[in-house]
Amino acid sequence: MELSAAFWIILTGSLVAASCGILGSFLVLRKMSLIGDAISHSVLPGIAIAFIISASRDVLPMIIGASAFGLLTVFLIEILNKKWRVQEDASIGIIYTALFAIGVILISMMAGHIDLDQECVLYGEIAYTPWDIVIINGAEWGPRPVWFIGTVFIINILFIRTFYKEMVISSFDPALAMSLGFNVSLLHYLFMGMVSLTTVASFESVGAILVVAMLIVPGATAYLWTNRLPVMLILSVIFGILSSVFGYLLATYWESSIAGAMTVAAGILFLVSILLAPQYGLLGKFYNHLKLSVSFASDHLLLLLYRQLEREPQTLVIPGAVYQSTSTGRLPTLLALMKNRRDGRISKRKKHLYLTDSGKEMAHQLIQRHRLWERFASRELGLPDDEHVHESAHRMEHFIDENITEELYQVVNNEKSSKSKAKDKYEKK
Amino acid sequence: MMDQILRFISVSDANVRYVLIGSMLLGMAAGIIGTFALLRKRSLLGDALAHAALPGVGLGFLLTLSKSIVPLFIGASIAGILGVLTIIGITRTNRIKQDAAIGITLSVYFGAGIVLLTYIQRLPSGNQSGLDKFLFGQAASMLPSDIMMMSIVSLLVILIVIALFKEFRLLIFDQAFLATLGYPVHILDILLMVLVVFVVMIGLQAVGVVLMAALLITPAAGARFWTENLRSMIILAAVFGAFSGVVGTFLSSLAPRIPTGPVMVLAATMFFVISAVSAPRRGLAAKLLQLRHNRRKMQQEHFLRAAIEWLELHHESKAIPLKAFIGRTEMPISKLKRVTAWLIDKRMIKFSSSNHIQLTQKGYDKALQIVKSHRLWEYYLLYRMQLQEDHLHRDADEIEHILTPDLIDQIEKILQNEGVDTSNVVSVHPLHQ
Amino acid sequence: MNSGTNNNIPIEIHDMTVAYHKKPVLWDIDVTAPEGKLIGIIGPNGAGKSTLVKAVLDLIPKASGWVKIYGQPYTDMRSLVGYVPQKESVDWDFPVNVRDVVLMGLYGQLGWFKRPKKQHIKSAEDSLKQVDMEDYADRQISQLSGGQQQRVFLARALAQDAQIYLMDEPFAGVDAATENAIIKLLSNLREKGKTVLVVHHDLSTIPKYFDWLMMLNMRIIAAGPVKEVFTTENLRRTYGGKLTVLTEAADKISQAGSVHK
């Protein structure tokens, strides 16, 4: 029983997370995360009114009530923003707090008459999911919330499959979509309707706050890992499911709210992604930065050794001196030294460093580039022919690849620079 | 019930008095700071901040195991500021946009807060912690010391804003310019942010984390409808906020089961709706009235122009048959009757017989001005904008109602410069002939 | 000129006024674009160049007047019109690749529900080839340079296979390679008899790039073959500041709020 209860809870959480994740990816891309936030709060009065009118937890009145209020939210925010010129974020804040307040008051007034209270609104009753069983003809058909949110999940998948192309174009370039004749605002409201439907299906089992979290966090997490939209959608589902599994484990460990713990798990996954995601993660960025620094350090190192040898061939360079005379920092210099020794450009004999032949060749190239840029800078950029050009070249030498070298050659070796040509032309007139 | 209301209104009960003063000051401070947040386009940052404060409340309690307001306040402030830093950190370090960053921070911090709260409720000492009051607020459960703190911080916030009003105003309007004047822009910006944090924190007990944002945003947005002046906007927002605070406290003290926060929010929303509908100029009602006024003005002016056009054709007569207007103004008879009545009221026309009207001197002058501006504009379009003649009339039809005498003079000068003779644009005999 | 049913005129703009928040920004534009020409639209900042293009495409409402495409309303002739928006108008962090973006040009042909098939992908890749971007088909758009982004947008418009192209500042902030690619493309389009309207900033290149010119400053100052209208006098009138009368009248209208519904 314990195990199967855990199973149903995790299944419910996963279905919520997956449904929200798919739609949420589009919310994030359309920069409408906060509209999602608003909808998931303001469906509450719809749910409460459906309770009052139908005096039951029937699904249909709840869907109607909640969807109506979901669309009303979007509509009112638009009116405030477009017609009354209230800033968009303020419009969102005004409308969702007002509608949510109405919902909370309705529920507080009815407390005792219905099995929904203020706290449940916020963080749900997912723990009771396994006991809310659908019974048809005396047979048990599994928990009701699973059926509800499972159906919504399938509808969401169908929605995105059917309107994938339209959703993509209207999210990426609404002006183009309109000029091609797509009804962008109809699609917008359809999408908002789907968000409302998903919200209401998730609401009573996981509460408003988990809906907000699941709408935004898995989608945003997936956005950090990929540049392909289909991959992003699948990743958002996976992150959602992971959040609900880990969240459940955390909740049993802490003996705390399951929905809250699932939110925390989603947050942890997001944090991990911020650190680890290959292209946009901090670690990836740090790695790229380090790689660049190492390549700078490597250039500096080669030049240093080369100049030293040019001046006094007999001088010996010890590694300690290298660290002190480069400006790129110890770690990049150390790594650059290791790399160059591995590549056979620098060798070490008796604690002293030497350039090998290939190292000399490399350094020579670097110096050529440096001088090329110096000439270019003094001629074309009009820099004074002193430290100015040297500093400029010092900065630029790392970035000059073969293409640019070629172009620089052409410019510098031309009889006259383009600038002086222009001057001639002007003077002729 | 009646008794309660009386006691509340008379403010004889010391506790009620304190709660009242406290929530009033809170509402004022929130309205004032909210105005700056709104104009700085940071409305929802307050929302994120309030949600993010919840785990701080939980930790403050866990560490001290006391309900004393000070550790909770400190915990909430730290968590709130961390929340803001998280948002900034997320948007700075990668490609997540601000809206998603706010949503992520808001929900994850809040989820962590819920985890802490449910954890605390299972502790032996946690049962009576009453921390769940922080979700939706309960003003009635505040202790005198809480109210004291709330009032002091509110007053402090209000005083700081008064002292730095000039700096904050320029910060919002033109930050770069303020910086060139040598003010420490970043410090001012941070100070403003810290003031938002303070207001949110003292509001948590009364309003709750979920809806605190409304107390910042809604009164300020409502005040915006009434005025273009920052000073009066702040005062109005403070008034709306104060009233919302009082109304919320009052109603929820009548029905203790209803939390204070939502009631305050609804009160603030009510002020917002009233403002949006009835404010002069920007309000809905004013706009509708203006629209109707313009429509009527246009109809009357069309009538007067028709009169002049008829007079131009009929030099021998001054009395114009009413039926001449039917074709010229394309108005239905019923409309025509009403327009006639308005113009008679304004003493611009009078009946010379039962079905003829005559222009008065006032009406004549006005009509002449209208026709002149209409025709000058036609000339203008013709000469300066090289429009085809068939396009002219429609455009002039609309513009004649809004061209001021100033503009007409300008246009006349432009045309004269182009060598157009404008002396004879209206060829009607004067009235007194 | 006003018959409104001339089927050989690619774009006929009749007496069009466009207002933002009730304040007119384009006054009584009345102009026709000749077929098969490269047409430049020039004017100072705030002259309403982009607005003109957007109003033709029905992206913003007109306060008055109408636009006809080969004698028919735009809504019936969408498939004949390709649009290249300013490249800043979209979020280049969006998770799609170059081929996906070019395929979007074909979504209009596809209509609701249908998905792109092999032949569509083929034609998208052909369009990419025309702007020298065939090697970038699988590249994520977030990794493109500004000029490459512009070329992707051009390829997308090419994929639409339209008769008329409206381009909003395609030359803004692009590299030399892209500029050459655009010029090549424009002359290809002219050879095929397409009509191309280009919002343009750089006055020095006008005689080189365009056959025809619309000079705009809240209203049409001059329109016609470059040789005839690209004169100092017209330039002075176009760039010599806004007409204060028009600006003031526009302010009055926006304050009154009712006129030009």
Is residue A30 a part of any domain in this protein?
Answer: yes
Among A73, A102, A264, which would you mutate to test the B interface (most chain B Cβ atoms within 10 Å of its Cβ)? A264
Q: Are residues A332 and A402 in the same domain?
A: no
Q: Which of A98, A109, A263 sits opposite B108 (nearest CB)?
A: A263
Q: Are residues A318 and A337 in the same domain?
A: yes
Cβ B45 vs Cβ B105: under 8 Å:
no
Q: Are residues A338 and A366 in the same domain?
A: no
- Give every CB contact of residue A393 below 8 A, 6+ residues apart in sequence: A370, A371, A373, A374, A377
Nearest CA in chain A to B51: A209
Q: Are residues A113 and A50 in the same domain?
A: yes
Tell me what pLDDT residue A416 has.
Answer: 46
| Residue-number span of the structural domain to which A62 is assigned | 2-219
Is residue A72 a part of any domain in this protein?
Answer: yes
Domain's final residue, options A219, A235, A265: A219
Q: Say yes or no for a CB contact (<8 Å) between A37 and B106.
A: yes
Q: Which residues of A fall within a CB distance of 8 Å from C142?
A: 227
DSSP codes, A257-271: -HHHHHHHHHHHHHH
CA-to-CA dists, residue B31 to A135, A254, B315, angstroms: 53, 39, 66
Residue type, B184: P
Q: How close does chain B come to A200, measured CA to CA in Å?
A: 17
Dump pLDDT digits (tens) for B75-111: 999 999 999 999 988 888 878 888 899 999 999 999 9
Is residue A36 a part of any domain in this protein?
Answer: yes
Tell me what pLDDT residue A317 has.
Answer: 62
Q: Are residues A300 and A152 in the same domain?
A: no
Q: Which of A411, A350, A403, A404 is nearest to A375 (CA)?
A: A411
Question: CB-based contact (8 Å) between B40 and chain A?
Answer: no
Q: Which of C78, C140, C143 sits opposite A180 (nearest CB)?
A: C78
Q: Which residues of B fall within a CB distance of 8 Å from A232?
A: none
Q: Are residues A46 and A104 in the same domain?
A: yes
Q: Say yes or no for a CB contact (<8 Å) between A274 and B93.
A: yes
Question: Residue B43: in which H helix or E strand, if any?
Answer: helix B43-64
- Across the beta sheet with C11-20, the strand order is C23-33, C11-20, C64-69, C72-73
Q: Are residues A10 and A155 in the same domain?
A: yes
Tell me what pLDDT residue B105 has.
Answer: 93
Q: Which residues of B fall within a CB distance of 8 Å from A257?
A: 114-115, 117-118
Q: Classify each residue of C177-187 as buried b or exposed e, where b means 16 or more C-beta atoms within 10 Å of its C-beta.
A: ebbebbeebbe
Cβ B379 vs Cβ B418: under 8 Å:
no
Among C53, C96, C160, which would you mutate to test the A interface (most chain A Cβ atoms within 10 Å of its Cβ)? C96
Among B33, B42, B90, B94, which would you mutate to test the A interface (most chain A Cβ atoms within 10 Å of its Cβ)? B94
Q: Are residues A59 and A75 in the same domain?
A: yes
Q: Say yes or no for a CB contact (<8 Å) between A180 and C91.
A: no
Question: CB-based contact (8 Å) between B371 and chain A?
Answer: no
Task: Give the mean model confidence (pLDDT) for residues C154-165.
Answer: 88
CA–CA–CA angle C246, C249, C250 (5° rounding)? 85
Tell me what pLDDT residue C1 has.
Answer: 40
Q: Say yes or no for a CB contact (<8 Å) between A36 and B102.
A: no
Largest CA distance in chain C: 57
Is residue A228 a part of any domain in this protein?
Answer: no
Q: Which of C90, C116, C140 sits opposite A173 (nearest CB)?
A: C90
Q: Report the C-alpha gap between C120 and C109 in whole angstroms.
A: 10
Q: What percent of chain C has pLDDT over 90?
A: 3
Tell me what pLDDT residue B28 has.
Answer: 94
Question: How many cross-chain Cβ pairs, A to C, lie less than 8 Å apart?
Answer: 76
Structural domains present in chain B: 2-279 (1.10.3470.10), 283-421 (1.10.10.10)
The CATH number of residue A116's host domain is 1.10.3470.10
Dump pLDDT digits (tens) for A124-145: 777 777 777 777 777 777 788 8
Cβ C168 vs Cβ C85: under 8 Å:
yes
Q: Are residues A212 and A167 in the same domain?
A: yes
Number of domains, chain A: 3
- Cβ-based interface (< 8 Å): residues of B facing C: 95, 287, 290-291, 294-295, 298, 380-381, 384-388, 390-391, 394-395, 398-399, 401-404, 407, 410-411, 414
Question: Where do the DSSP E strands lie in A307-411?
Answer: 346-349, 352-355
Task: Give the mean model confidence (pLDDT) for residues C94-107.
Answer: 85
Question: CB-based contact (8 Å) between B48 and chain A?
Answer: no
Determine how many CB atoms are found less than 10 A away from the CB of residue A307. Answer: 12
Q: What is the mean pLDDT of chain C?
A: 82
Tell me what pLDDT residue B127 has.
Answer: 58
Question: CB-based contact (8 Å) between C245 and chain B?
Answer: yes
Question: CB-based contact (8 Å) between A184 and chain C?
Answer: no
Domain's final residue, options A185, A219, A253: A219
Q: Which two tokens stand for residue B62?
A: 């866990």
- Please, which residues bridge with residue C32 across strands? C12
Q: Are residues A76 and A121 in the same domain?
A: yes
Q: Say yes or no for a CB contact (<8 Å) between B38 and A122.
A: no
Dump pLDDT digits (tens) for A7-26: 888 998 999 999 999 999 99
Tell me what pLDDT residue B157 has.
Answer: 93
Residue type, B155: L
Q: Which two tokens stand for residue A352?
A: 């002293």
Q: Are residues A351 and A372 in the same domain?
A: no
Domain's final residue, options A355, A379, A401: A355
Q: Which two tokens stand for residue C14?
A: 């009749």
Backbone angles phi, psi at B362, to 5 degrees: -60, -45
Dump pLDDT digits (tens) for C47-91: 888 889 988 888 888 888 888 888 888 888 888 888 888 888 888
Q: Report the C-alpha gap between B149 and B3 in whole angstroms.
A: 29
Dump pLDDT digits (tens) for C239-255: 775 556 666 667 666 66
Is residue A429 a part of any domain in this protein?
Answer: no
Determine how many CB atoms are found less than 10 A away from the CB of residue A387. Answer: 10
The CATH number of residue A371's host domain is 1.10.60
CA–CA–CA angle C137, C142, C147 (5° rounding)? 75
Q: Are residues A127 and A214 in the same domain?
A: yes
Q: Which of A175, A178, A229 sits opposite C96 (nearest CB)?
A: A229
Q: Where are the alpha helices (DSSP H) in A173-183?
A: 174-179
Cβ A180 vs Cβ A47: under 8 Å:
no
Residue type, B258: I
Cβ A316 vs Cβ A352: under 8 Å:
yes
Is residue A215 a part of any domain in this protein?
Answer: yes
Nearest CA in chain B to C245: B407
Most confident by average pLDDT, B5-9, B105-109, C2-6, C147-151 = B105-109
Is residue A245 a part of any domain in this protein?
Answer: no
Question: CB-based contact (8 Å) between C93 and chain B?
Answer: yes
Tell me what pLDDT residue A410 has.
Answer: 72
Tell me what pLDDT residue A422 has.
Answer: 46
Burial of A249 (0-12, 13-18, 19+ CB in 10 A): middle
Tell me what pLDDT residue B10 has.
Answer: 60
- Give every CB contact of residue B269 below 8 A, 6+ residues apart in sequence: A94, A97, A98, A101, B214, B218
Nearest CA in chain A to C138: A228
Task: Give the mean model confidence (pLDDT) for residues C104-128.
Answer: 83
* Regions in chain A scoring below 70 on pLDDT: 1-3, 57, 111-119, 311-328, 350-351, 380, 382-383, 385, 387, 394-395, 397, 402-403, 412, 414-429
Q: Which two tokens stand for residue B420?
A: 């157009």
Q: Which residue has the tokens 């203006």?
A: B290
Is residue A425 a part of any domain in this protein?
Answer: no
Residue type, A87: Q
Cβ C172 vs Cβ C201: under 8 Å:
yes
Q: How close does chain C come to B199, measured CA to CA in Å?
A: 36
- Give every CB contact of residue A288 below 8 A, 6+ residues apart in sequence: none
Q: Which two tokens stand for residue A192?
A: 């908002």
Q: Which residue has the higher pLDDT, A359 or C102?
A: C102
Structural domains present in chain C: 11-255 (3.40.50.300)
Largest CA distance in chain B: 104
Q: Report the C-alpha gap between B171 and B191 in whole angstroms.
A: 11
Q: Note down pLDDT in tens along chain B; length 433 residues.
A: 566 666 666 665 667 778 888 889 999 999 999 999 998 888 888 889 999 999 998 898 888 877 777 888 889 999 999 999 999 888 888 788 888 999 999 999 999 998 998 888 887 765 556 777 788 877 777 788 888 888 899 999 999 999 998 888 888 887 877 887 778 888 898 899 889 998 988 888 888 888 888 999 999 999 988 888 888 899 999 999 999 998 888 887 777 777 888 899 999 999 999 999 988 877 888 888 888 888 888 888 888 888 888 887 777 777 888 877 877 777 888 888 888 888 888 888 888 887 888 888 888 888 888 888 777 777 776 666 655 555 555 555 666 676 777 777 777 777 777 677 766 666 655 554 4
Residue C26, pLDDT above cutoff 90: no
